[in-house]
Amino acid sequence: MAQALDQVDYDTLDAAKRRFIDAAKRTLGFASAYGIVPASGLGASANAFSFNLAPFLEAGARELSMTLVPEGLGTADDTRPDDLSEEELRRFWWNIGIKIISCLTNDAATSGMQTILLGLYLPSSTPETIFTPAFLDGFLDGVVEGCKRVGCVYLSGETPQLKTKMIPGRLDIAGSVFGVMPAGVAPIDSSRLDAGNTIVLVESSGPHENGFTPLRKLAQSLPDGYRTKLPSGQEFWKAINAASYLYTPLVQAVLGEGIRPTAMENITGHGWQKLMRSVKPLRYVIETMLPVPEIFTFVEGHLEGGAETMLSVFNYGAGFAFYTESEQDAERIVILAREHKLTAVIAGRVEASLSREVVIEPLGITLKGDSFGIARGV
């Protein structure tokens, strides 16, 4: 007996793709300083971006430094209550749209790269339950807003239906970005990082995209789950879902001022251990901390390990770090951050050491490098 053909739900997928293409069209002018995308070409298997080389030729640049960064959002989009209203869902997905832009472009910014192009990969097994009006309205508006803030073009995407590989009702959100260094500026690769440098920390809005595995587990034990209220009255799910800060505009402003940080780090997975990302045996002494957002003190009060564990997992209120050769440059970065509506502080200094470590003096905590296996400059 012949079986009915089990095929991909192209009606749902094609309708979603048209929405994604419409969103892409809204971003075409965001990277106009670097080139253009002919709108007539959108919807092709490979969309073209015409890169403007004039500024690089005028600067006498003989090389074009670029990057390609792939990244995934993880489980942040699963960290919500099941009873969200349509308006709450739209806001939730708007924040998730910002978060995927954040985890892609903030990583690129650590080398000084300006993200130009962005692509997304969103596989699911049941697109009919994923690509709802609330998702498409919220997520795509968030992506467009994120691209606008960063100054990049959402150029391409893929939304495959993977019936046997994905959990029904779940979505994976990932993507990649193409970025370039500004004309005449060399990539920031930590090779100049050294003892005597000054450390600047820039605030975060909350967990950003990291630490959601323990946050999801914690929600299971809270009296009202994700709806549990923090002391301020804000619900747990809203606090952990706050839209991430996008640091590319600040990084480009710093470079545009002629400041050349010796290193920059996006404080994500591994928390403050990321401050000792360089392979060099250095001690990073933190004397002044940024205010710790309520969500972190709330979580700290419910998980074992105290502040040391929090610092090893979460950004704990500090989302990005600059290292500078002079305190004057550090002071200027603090001012530039304020102009970009971000709070930053001169947090401490880099010292010579026999091994890598981060010393957080206000908390009396030292994070040792032997527990942090990744390093930049290997």
In this model, does residue 76 exceed pLDDT 70? yes
Do the Cβ atoms of 319 and 325 come closer than 8 Å?
no
Distance (Å, whole) CA 163 – CA 206: 34
Distance (Å, whole) CA 77 – CA 100: 10
Query: What is the tens place of the pLDDT at every residue in 332-367?
Result: 999 999 999 999 999 999 999 999 999 999 999 999
Return the sign of the alpha-carbon dihedral for residues 366, 368, 374, 375.
positive
Q: Which long-range contacts (CB under 8 A, 24 or more apart) does 238-242 make?
A: 239/206, 239/293, 239/294, 239/295, 239/298, 240/79, 240/206, 240/207, 240/212, 240/215, 240/295, 241/76, 241/79, 241/80, 241/92, 241/95, 241/96, 241/206, 242/95, 242/205, 242/206, 242/295
Query: What is the tens place of the pLDDT at every residue in 208-243?
Result: 999 999 999 999 999 999 999 999 999 999 999 999
Task: Give me the architecture of the 10-36+63-180 domain, per CATH.
Answer: 2-Layer Sandwich (3.30)
197-371 topology per CATH = Phosphoribosyl-aminoimidazole Synthetase; Chain A, domain 2 (3.90.650)
For 150-184, the DSSP string reads HT-EEEEEE--B-TTTS-TT-B--EEEEEEEPPTT
pLDDT at 7: 61
- Collapsing DSSP to helix, strand or coil, 261 comes out as coil
Percent residues over pLDDT 70 in the chain: 97
What is the reported pTM?
0.94
Residues 6+ apart with CB under 8 A from 195: 282, 350, 351, 352
Domain definitions of the chain by residue range? 10-36+63-180, 197-371
Mean pLDDT, residues 103-124: 96
